[in-house]
Chains A and B, each alone.
Chain A
Amino acid sequence: MAFEIPKTAYSGKIKEITLGKGEKAVTVGGESSYPFYLFEGEMPHLPRIAMEVYDAPPEEWAEAALEPFADVVSDPVAWANKCIKDYGAEMICLQLASTDPNGLDRGADEAAEVVKRVSEAIDVPLIVLGTANHDKDTEVFRKVAEVCHGKNLILGPVEEGDYKQIGAAAIGYQHTVVAASPIDINLGKQLNILLGNLGVSDDMLVMDPTVSGIGYGIEYAYSVMERMRMAALTQQDDKLQFPIICNIARETWKAKEAKISEAEDPKMGDAKKRGILLEAMSATVLLLAGADVLIMRHPEAIKLVREMIAELTAS
């Protein structure tokens, strides 16, 4: 008898969720096997990459990360358009960094205005991330949800401390939520249940398990995501069968190893190459753990990850 490779028995499937509206809407999820285990199941929608845009000129960014966007950093609309036109972004992630109460503390109205302008200028799905300050995010997202009614934005992070307020706004104005929990499978599941109890429908939710970059505990993120997928696919845990979104750019690029110049520490080598590789490698690790959407920054890193996805899924 010929040898047969043992196969995992899958009993569950990740929900298919459509992000954005119109022709350029993106569907993610739908996996019926572990990531890239195409010999065991299907991955009907490839993982997607959303490119980061900031609502205010970023401070303390590594030179390498700033360089491609130097001409557009003070105009989020132009920045988003550049990502789409020059780098083929399929999604945009607008980081509302300027609303941080410990920073510029821009008001909700102003933030909503920026979101509205960006959303009207682009046709790809728009992820909008706040600062994880519960009071401020509540205020901002109430306004954002309202002025972008029906656009199916992806709003987050929605955490246990503000899920009711932001969740209600998302339900009312038809947006998808990013359920964010602090790197724990149970806490992640609990938030999904709470959002379900609140009335967020299953096709309007993606999970953010909280990730970190290489060298900063990425193995924990990997392990949690891996266990989420195991529960979802082999233990019929329907409260974990949601696509996973990973906000990885911010995490990798804020690390000292991504920012320090070669002049400052020659043994670290070329700063640009180092930053790009850190981002690309971190993203790859998360892909293998089950990421459906990666939020990334550097065009070169994105290119590397796209190639990796293509190779892993080549038939």
Chain B
Amino acid sequence: MVEQGENLLQAAISAGVRVYASCGGAGTCGTCKVKIESGEVATTRTEKLSDEEYQQGIRQACQSRVMTNLSVYVLVESRLEKVVLASEQKRVSQVLASGWRFKPPLSKYFLELSPPTAEDNLSDLSRLLRGMRRRYNLSHLSVDFYVLKKLARALRKGKWKVTVTTLVTASKPRAGEERRPRVINIEPGDSREKHYSLAFDIGTTTICGQLLELNRGKIVAEHIAYNGQISYGNDVIARINFSQKPGGLKKLQKATVATMNDVIEELLATSRVDAKHIGHLMVAGNTTMTQILLGLETKYIRLAPYTPLANFFPPVEAASLGIKLDKHVHLYTFPAVASYVGGDIVSGVIGAGIHQRKTLTFFMDIGTNGEIVIGNSDWMVTASCSAGPAFEGGGVKHGIVASEGAIEDFDIDHASLEPKIDTIGGKKPKGICGSGLINIIAGLLEARVIGQNGKFHRTLPTKRIRKGSDGYEYVLSWAKETQIGRDIVVTEVDIDNLMRAKAAMFAGFQTLSKSVGIECRDFEQVIIAGAFGNNINIEKAITIGLLPDLPVDRFIFVGNGSLLGARLTSFSTDLLDDARRVAQMMTNIELSESADFMNNYIAALFLPHTNAREFPTVSKRLAKISK
């Protein structure tokens, strides 16, 4: 039931219809377009609707209020569809962390206890602890109160044979003290074979989960879904703003948990594992996502001097957040470094093993909020560069997230200027994804269709370059060849948006490396994380100046680094401790405070860069083409 006057976007979300709304319903992005087939809405019209669209009954859902019963068609490009799964990605993620001991923080112990007698009338708990001491030499256990509630029954139901689950947390014991594992669960009988945990990456755009088997250290299942928060805004700032509205934080928190529950349900269904055998939940996310998940105030993340609520969050009972898992399951979140360098980056660093080697590494996580880390096992500096949503298709006229029908590869005939495009899944094109946009811009630059400033050479002899409603554009695909029935174009505004995104990343890299006195060529490896990162064509990304001009063999992809780290720490207590250490050793450099950053940024707003010397091989190639 929808009330008259209710916002159409909100109504759609409540009804479970997934509509893309990258600005969070502010009316500024024009991604939530729907067609009103019958019925009436009251709409505030913005410049995001062309006359033609308006006449066809197309409206921005977020700017429309429901006035009568409606029949609404969600335009193809406004739908949130399945994200490209990891299995379809071109490259396989690499586990770079090495040499770690397989010793999960979550352990199961089987005990056969002697029943109490008149001579041996110890309490149930003391009996249990004596068993753990004698059998496993574990004497410093603490016991969760929840276990006491189950204890008497479990011991007797299992005829004094029980399985005890313990958890160690990352808090480092003081010197000389032993670690004190917590007893978090007790089950009758021997359930050691049913020993699972979950690893999650809570991204601003997507949520990705893995079901892990802890006896053998295997991934049993993996699933990814759009973060339910996406309809409330495209980036963390939009989310923080939304969380300040009455009930906003609660809505965001619920949306995340709902998505996590969907993912968990899917993981359990595909693997036929029972939810009660999951004993732990390891979550990596950026600072904002982490705080929203925990239902904590996020306001001060976006206000100078940008303070997170905490760097280390104590483990939380997962069920208390609404996650459909047993009461004993704790949710552990990765420690954060700063407001814009969160647990996902710490997790990525752990997954990539940067803290284990002397190799001088440049680590970048490419996403809406790009984070970069420079360093090795001895030191690390980090910064966050607000790249904006262009890499994920936001702020791009025909931009969409990487899904079927997204243009991802592009080639252009230098003589006829005719394009050759490939889409994900080989489907008819319906938009352009971030990696596609990089390839398109690199192709247009090399074919001299655009200049180094990203502007079209308007007088070239092709009908594909024309003036459109957003300025000059190049037609990638004529209407009849597409799924959306309109010409798919790349506009100067799109190019400009991607240039800003890449300039923010590269300027961040330059500023950060200069702050520690390191030259670009000194980097022995460049590790690229981020689900989007996996589909990047390195050479093209260098051509447009997103990645530094280094030999291609120095680049390594780790895919979703945040998820990787969450998995590895689920397998190794050592890495869990490392995560805490890494979060403490990383020095955050606030780029907004750096005078150099703005200068570097303007210099990077050029293809590939204002300083040709930063990109010697690209400059040489471009010079050759122009001759």
Binding site for B on A (CB under 8 A): 160, 164, 184-187, 189-190, 193-194, 197, 237, 239
Contacts and interface: CB of A to CB of B under 8 A. Distances in A.
A186 B603 contact: yes
Nearest to A188: B610
B453 A194 contact: yes
Contacts of A164: 457
A208 B626 CA distance: 27
Contacts of A160: 453
A234 to B, nearest CB: 14
19 contacts: A160-B453, A184-B602, A186-B599, A186-B602, A186-B603, A186-B610, A187-B602, A189-B603, A189-B610, A189-B611, A190-B605, A190-B610, A193-B452, A193-B606, A193-B612, A194-B452, A197-B452, A197-B626, A237-B611
Could you tell me the dominant secondary structure of chain A's interface residues? helix
Question: Which 6 interchain pairs have the tightest Cβ spacing?
Answer: A186-B602, A186-B603, A186-B610, A190-B606, A189-B610, A190-B610
B482 to A, nearest CB: 31
A310 B610 CA distance: 37
Contacts of B451: 194, 197
Interface of B: 451-453, 457, 599, 602-603, 605-606, 610-612, 626
A190 B452 contact: yes
Nearest to A237: B611
A239 B605 CA distance: 16
Contacts of A185: 599
B597 to A, nearest CB: 13
B110 to A, nearest CB: 67
Contacts, number: 31
Contacts of B611: 189, 237
Contacts of B453: 160, 190, 194
B613 to A, nearest CB: 9
Contacts of B603: 186, 189
A248 to B, nearest CB: 24
Contacts of A193: 452, 606, 610, 612
A193 B613 CA distance: 13
B578 to A, nearest CB: 40
Contacts of A187: 602
A78 to B, nearest CB: 41
A189 B453 CA distance: 11
A186 B453 CA distance: 12
A174 to B, nearest CB: 21
Nearest to A231: B611
B598 to A, nearest CB: 10
Contacts of B452: 190, 193-194, 197
A285 B94 CA distance: 58
Contacts of B599: 185-186
A173 to B, nearest CB: 18
B520 to A, nearest CB: 16
A308 B401 CA distance: 63
B537 to A, nearest CB: 24
Given A184-B602, A190-B610, A237-B611, 20 more contacts: A160-B453, A186-B603, A186-B605, A186-B606, A186-B610, A189-B603, A189-B610, A190-B452, A190-B453, A190-B605, A190-B606, A193-B452, A193-B606, A193-B610, A193-B612, A194-B451, A194-B452, A194-B453, A197-B451, A197-B626
A187 B598 CA distance: 12
Nearest to B448: A197
A100 B452 CA distance: 30
Contacts of A189: 603, 610-611
Nearest to A161: B455
